[in-house]
Amino acid sequence: MSGCEARDAKKLVRSPSGLRMVPEHRSARSPFGLDEPHWVPDKECPRCMQCDTKFDFITRKHHCRRCGKCFCDKCCSKKVPLPRMCFVDPVRQCAECALISQKETEFYDKQLKVLMNGATFFVTLGTSDKSELMVCRLSNNQRYLVLDGDSHYEIEIIQISTVQILTEGFTPGGGNTRAIGMVLQYKIPGSEELRQMKFTAGEDLSCNKKLSASWLAAMHKATKLLYESRDQ
């Protein structure tokens, strides 16, 4: 097994919430992941935290696997996939958390694959007036943004500070906009210096504008998940 494969190795663990397939090394976890929440202790929740129904021998209490709060069966009946916590099977969640997890399903089922497949952009470094045509993709372990052209760059996702999606077609009265690029600011490990890259979708026929726009939309969603993971 190579060094990279060893770092990315996973193990099956059982927690009170269910079975999880997690990286053997915490440093190898996905930057979009979430830690399991601490469950509200049973003694601190005599009533459902949603409908205020009192718990007894008939009305049992259940913990939402996403927020850790305590609910009755009616308010915490849905079992929904929760890939951000590496659960193998769908897990019990309250109505509010289930809705959030369902919305994230599109990212994991579709947009993550779009990011890994990559798209082609003209990439400009810093204040340079020169750009280079590069294929940009998310690494399979989700931890790096990989850029390949005449040059090669790998940017750690956790080092990304800001992502600004560039659009065109906006009108004051509203209307359709199209993502045409992005400005990325990131740090080099061990340094507080911010570096910047600008990605612009190519205008020639060899570059698929629709693919580029889909990739940028997926990157926008990935950024939101990244910020949520940091704020946990």
Sequence ranges of the chain with CATH classification 2.30.29.160: 118-170+178-231
Residues in the chain: 232
User: Are the CB atoms for 92 and 74 separated by under 8 Å?
Assistant: no
Domain with CATH 3.30.40.10 in the chain: 10-114
Superfamily of 10-114 according to CATH: Zinc/RING finger domain, C3HC4 (zinc finger) (3.30.40.10)
pLDDT in tens, 15-52: 888 899 888 887 778 899 999 999 999 999 999 999 99
> What CATH code would you report for 118-170+178-231?
2.30.29.160
pLDDT computed for residue 186 by the predictor: 94
- In tens, the pLDDT along 41-95 reads 999 999 999 999 999 989 999 999 999 999 999 999 999 999 999 999 999 999 9
Q: pLDDT at position 205, please?
A: 46
Cα(43)–Cα(41) distance, rounded to whole angstroms? Answer: 5
Share of the chain above pLDDT 90, in %: 66
Secondary structure letter of residue 231 according to DSSP: H
Percent of the chain with pLDDT over 70: 91
Closest by CA position to 182, among listed 130, 223, 228, 232: 223
* Residue 107 burial (CB count, 10 A): 20
CA angle 174, 175, 179 (to 5 degrees): 115
Segment 153-182 shows an average pLDDT of 82
The answer on pLDDT for 206 being more than 80 is no
The first and second tokens of residue 44, run together, are: 């601190």
Separation of alpha carbons 136 and 200, rounded Å: 11
What is this structure's pTM? 0.82
